[in-house]
Amino acid sequence: MTVGSRLFAEEVAYEPARPGGGPRLLVIACGAIAREVLAVIRLNGWSNVTLRCLPGKLHNTPRRIAERVDAGLREAEAEGRWDRVFVAYGDCGTGGELDRVVAAHGVQRLPGDHCYAFLAGVDNWLAMHEAEPRTFYLTDFLCRHFERFVIKGLRLDEHPELLPDYFGNYRRVVFLAQTDDPALVARAREAAAYLGLELEVRRTGLGDLRPVLERVAGGRQT
Amino acid sequence: MPDEEEIVLRELTDEELVKQMHDDLYDGLADEIVEGTTILLERGWSAPEVLDKSLVEGMRIVGIDFRDGVLFVPEVLLAANAMKAGMAVLRPLLAETGAERAGRIVIGTVKGDIHDIGKNLVAMMLEGAGFEVIDIGINNPVENYLAALEAHRPDILGMSALLTTTMPYMKVVIDELVAKGIRDDYIVLVGGAPLNEEFGKAIGADAYCRDAAVAAETAQALVRSRRAAGSQA
């Protein structure tokens, strides 16, 4: 199984190779943004940050995200070895349930409703959404896993007749690209064609993810 | 291993057939639902009876399992499409009966929000419960709601939102109804994944409906109660 497949389907943990100084920070993240969180960790050379990812596929059953994050936070508390814990999720379709969980544990999460909001930058995303709410967003992760996450996850492979029920209201696809990868742009093009929508590509980089994580690692409030 | 024995719907008793239709609805089998609906009508069942006992009850079961995390959105959509197929058979017959409607509702998703799977389920269950449903679609600014209320004079205004960023718009609509002095002319129901009862109360709605079946039950109860109060006035 590839790393990408594992991030989609399983819990995956990344411990620093040589744990270093500084407050020990645990980031509990969605597998869909594992690469991006790891990129921030590497860019900063942090050796005091551990990343634990929950399966990206939880997004197809968002009610389970809050309970899995809650379990992860309880486990972290029981371990008693973390100076700080941060939840790298947006609301992610939990309908505010994740906010209740993080508040109960006294920790914080990423800003915004979804990963595409904080990857685009929340203000940018809100402006984009205001301009055209009928937009379906792709990220690097969603391009990589479009077939598994969207086509199979929504059972469109078995029931293509459901496509209008899911996507009938959309007018365009915007690929919020975290990296410059022509292969992912090609996948985005295929995804847009499958949905019968126009594609727009916007390079976002890591958006709000990097400054927020840097504030957390520095011990400041987000 | 032999294939599972095929069930011939026509060979079932009425009771068995209704139960089988609940199973077929649960499995999203539209053709079987159409066949079962047709058979019950041929056996002399009235259209409202078929609707209520087979389709609405079947969807109620689907709704419970969705709420409990047994079924997910794809399965609910398949079930809903099966119910729609049955409704297509029943709708002309229901119109012919001339039975008094349970009420009229204008329903739509709020501005900035294009998600309508839940709203469509609610509309379907309300139609199943005997309501005339005027569905104004998605991404509705307050002007759309006001125009629809003016044009259709419903008993109920229903608003839906899926996003935490769009649900506050429901209050904008309710505040506008208050400002125009027409808030009390309508029962206001709200729903959507990020909402809860507390939010419904805070924005001044009459009720928050956690799912489509609850929406139908709540709509019926509140319209009955309002009509009873009106007749006593």
Give pLDDT tens digits for A201-221: 999 999 999 999 999 988 654
CB contact under 8 A, B72 and A61: yes
State the smallest CA–CA distance between residue B140 and chain A in angstroms. Answer: 11
Interface membership of A102 toward B (CB under 8 Å): no
- Sign of the alpha-carbon torsion through A146, A166, B187, B172: positive
Task: Give the nearest chain A residue to B68 (CA atoms).
Answer: A63
* Segment B80-108 mean pLDDT: 93
Confidence (pLDDT) at B183? 98
Interface membership of A63 toward B (CB under 8 Å): yes
| A138: its two tokens | 């792709």
Q: Which residues of A touch B69 (CB under 8 A)?
A: 61, 63-64
State the smallest CA–CA distance between residue B122 and chain A in angstroms. Answer: 14
Residue B115 reports pLDDT greater than 50? yes
Q: Which residues of A touch B162 (CB under 8 A)?
A: 93
CB contact under 8 A, B74 and A159: yes
SS3 A62: coil
A100-109, A118-127, B137-146 — which is least confidently predicted? Answer: A118-127
State the smallest CA–CA distance between residue A96 and chain B in angstroms. Answer: 6
Confidence (pLDDT) at A1? 54
Contacts across the A-B interface (CB distance below 8 Å): 55
Interface membership of A164 toward B (CB under 8 Å): no
Residues with Cβ within 8 Å of A184's Cβ and at least 6 positions away in sequence, in order, are A140, A143, A144, A175, A177
pLDDT-based confidence at residue B23 (cuts at 50, 70, 90): very high
Q: How many residues does chain B have?
A: 233
> In this complex, which of A60, A91, A166 lies closest to B164 when CB atoms are compared?
A91
A22-36, B30-44, B133-147 — which is least confidently predicted? Answer: A22-36
The rounded distance, in Å, linking the Cα atoms of A21 and A18 is 10
Neighbours of A87 (CB within 10 A): 25
* Segment B153-157 mean pLDDT: 98
A1-15, B108-122, B164-178 — which is least confidently predicted? Answer: A1-15
Confidence (pLDDT) at B96? 87
Residues with Cβ within 8 Å of B189's Cβ and at least 6 positions away in sequence, in order, are B105, B156, B157, B158, B159, B205, B206, B207, B208, B209, B215, B218, B219, B222
* Segment A143-169 mean pLDDT: 95
Token look-up 């840097």 returns A214
Confidence (pLDDT) at A61? 83
Interface membership of B27 toward A (CB under 8 Å): no
Task: Round the average pLDDT of chain A to a whole number and report it.
Answer: 91
The rounded distance, in Å, linking the Cα atoms of A82 and B165 is 32
Residue B233 reports pLDDT greater than 50? yes
Residue B2 reports pLDDT greater than 90? no
Task: Round the average pLDDT of chain B to a whole number and report it.
Answer: 94
Confidence (pLDDT) at A4? 67
Interface membership of B2 toward A (CB under 8 Å): no
Confidence (pLDDT) at B1? 47
Confirm if B153 and B104 have CB atoms less than 8 A apart. yes
pLDDT-based confidence at residue B67 (cuts at 50, 70, 90): confident
pLDDT-based confidence at residue B68 (cuts at 50, 70, 90): confident
Interface membership of A61 toward B (CB under 8 Å): yes
The rounded distance, in Å, linking the Cα atoms of B122 and B133 is 10
Please tell me the pTM assigned to this model: 0.86
CB contact under 8 A, A165 and B77: yes
Residue A113 reports pLDDT greater than 50? yes
Residue A222 reports pLDDT greater than 70? no
DSSP state of A209: H
Q: Tell me, what's the ipTM? A: 0.86
Residue B154 reports pLDDT greater than 50? yes
Confidence (pLDDT) at B230? 80
| A163: its two tokens | 């496509």
